Amino acid sequence: MATLYTRNNCPFTVWPGTLTGAGIPQLSNTGFELAPQAWNAITVIAPWSGRLWARTQCSTSSGLFTCATANCGSGQVACNGVGAVPPATLVEFTLAPNGGQDFYDISLVDGFNLPISVTPQGGSGPNCTITSCSANVNAICPPELIVKASCGNTIACKSACLAFNQPKYCCSGEYNSPLKCEPTNYSMVFKNQCPQAYSYAYDDKTSIFTCSGAPNYLITFCP
C-alpha cells in the first residue's frame, strides 16, 4: 500500500485526474479540485499501475464539466476511467506490493500542459530520487505545436506525434523499435527543458526512476 499525495503550488486551481491500467479497478478518487497551496491524498493498494495528471481552466456549462487542457471527457470532475486528452504532462507509476521495487516517471510523450515533480518519501535504492519537469515548456513551444486559449495565451504544447501524426514522431509502423525511433528536433525541445522526463516513447535511459519500499509519493504541480 502507498499514498499518493498531490500538492498544488500553481497560482491557479487545477483539477488532478487519475487513470488505472487495464485489468485493475479504478482508484476511489479519479478526479478532484485542488486550489492553490491545497493538497490531497489517495491511498493505493499495490500492485497498481496507472497515471496522474492535472487539468486546467475547468468549468461547468449545461451540466457538463470540461477543461481547456488535459480534459478527461467524462463530463464530471471525476474522470471515471477516462484518460487525459493530450497534450498533458503525465506522472506514471507501477507500484509493487510488499515493499518491492516501484517504477515512476514523468512523461511528455503526450505533450506538456503543466510543470510537475514526483518526490518519493522514504524508500531506498540508487535511483530513488526526485524527478521533475519544473520548466514552463509552453514558453518555448515551437509555433506549430502551440495550443492557445480563446484569449490567445499559450496553454499547452503538443507533441510532434499529436501535431503531425507521422510514424517517425509517433514511434509507430517501421519506427516501432528503440533502434528505429530516435530523438527528433521536436522531442529535444522537451528534453532540453526537462532532462529527467520522457520526451519520446523510447526515452528510457534517463527517464525511469525506481524506489523500493516507499510508503508515500508527493506529486507537486508547478514545483
Q: Using one digit for the tens of pLDDT, what is the confidence trace for 24-41?
A: 899 999 999 999 999 999
Decide which of 145 and 152 is more confident: 145
Helix (H, G, I), strand (E, B) or coil at 203: coil
Residue 87: which pLDDT band, with cuts at 50, 70 and 90? very high
CA distances from 94 to 16, 20, 97, 213 (A): 18, 10, 10, 13
In the block, which residue shows the cell 514522431? Answer: 169
Rounded Cα distance, 190 and 141, in Å: 9
Angle at 67 between CA 169 and CA 53, to 5 degrees: 60
What's residue 117's pLDDT? 98
Residue whose C-alpha cell reads 490567445 in the numeric block = 152
Rounded Cα–Cα distance for residues 167 and 164 (Å): 9
pLDDT in the model for residue 46: 93
Between CA 219 and CA 196 the distance in angstroms is 15
Q: In this structure, which long-range contacts are made by residues 95-98, counting pairs with CB atoms below 8 Å and at least 24 apart in sequence?
A: 95/2, 95/44, 95/46, 95/47, 95/48, 95/49, 96/46, 96/47, 96/212, 97/46, 97/47, 98/46
Q: Which three cell numbers stand for residue 76?
A: 464530471
Reported as a single tens digit per residue, the pLDDT across 115-126 is: 999 999 999 999
Question: Any residues with CB less than 8 A from the CB of 213 and at least 6 apart, and which?
Answer: 99, 100, 122, 123, 124
Domains (range + CATH), the chain: 2-221 (2.60.110.10)
Assign 168 to helix, strand or coil: helix
- Please say if the pLDDT value at position 23 is more than 90: no
pTM above 0.75, yes or no: yes
Residue 138 has pLDDT above 90, yes or no: yes
**What are the start-end ranges of the H helices in the chain?**
160-164, 167-170, 185-193
* Confidence at residue 150, expressed as pLDDT on a 0 to 100 scale: 83
pLDDT score for 25: 92
Tens of pLDDT, residues 38-53: 999 999 999 999 999 9
* Percent above pLDDT 70 for the chain: 100
How high is the pLDDT of residue 22?
82
Mean pLDDT of the chain: 96
d(CA 58, CA 49): 26
